[in-house]
Chains A and B, each alone.
Chain A
Amino acid sequence: MIEAGISEPLTWTQICNQYPNEWVALVEIDWVNETDFDFRCARVVGHGTRRQQYEQARAWSSRYTSMGHFYTGRVRTPMTPLLFP
């Protein structure tokens, strides 16, 4: 961390290694294109359970109006089908 609560620029692989199976809040995301998830690097301003990372990221919301929230683990298929109205 270069500043309390914010990481240096990291690749997605580095983020997954440092915060395995956690939700992360990312800023300064250097996207490769407008459709895919791929990005070159980003800074982490929150991590943990979904609730934790939102609370940590809130401290940065006045500085960063654009933010990404993603899960570093594998997506899990729900026990019940995702059938909504």
Chain B
Amino acid sequence: MKVTRFDPNDTLIIVTARIWGPHGDKHLSLALDTAATQTHVVPEFLDEIGYGPQHGDQITSVTSAIGNEPGYMMPVSRFSALGFTLTDFRLHVHDLPETLGIQGLLGLSFLRQFDYEIRSAEGRILTSRI
């Protein structure tokens, strides 16, 4: 079992994730979101590690308050969060407002592969592989 700590005073549950690409890797902050089917990441830094829209395998559209915004699904070679690393993991690449302070959402596409317990008062997430 892995234990991940988060700040229980934050308005969202923020965890650190890591994405590997052909040219390197990036650490980023994601909000754990059990209401999100996919794991979402903003597009800006993906080109730095060798990814871009040309690696997308499915065009998507997200309906927001300001209309329909385009995105795409894309596999990355390695993705790590909550102490576990998955290979050939598909991300939904889509923009988020800069003012949120996060770079995406850790959704059920990652979480459903684990049993996890969120202890809000303690600021801890206990995770084990199913």
Beta-carbon contact of A61 and B48 below 8 Å? yes
| B interface with A by C-beta (< 8 Å) | 2-5, 10-12, 14-16, 23-29, 31, 33, 35-38, 40, 42, 44-45, 48-49, 60, 62, 64-65, 80, 82-83, 92, 94, 97-103, 105, 107
Which residues of the other chain, B, contact A54 by a CB distance below 8 angstroms? 44-45, 48
Q: Which chain B residue shows the least CB distance to A72?
A: B101
The 8 Å CB contact of A35, one of B5, B14, B35, B48, is: B5
Beta-carbon contact of A66 and B35 below 8 Å? no
By secondary structure, the B interface counts as mixed
Cα-based distance from A70 to B15 in the complex (angstroms): 11
Cα-based distance from A49 to B45 in the complex (angstroms): 14
Cα-based distance from A55 to B40 in the complex (angstroms): 22
The 8 Å CB contact of A58, one of B14, B16, B48, B64, is: B48
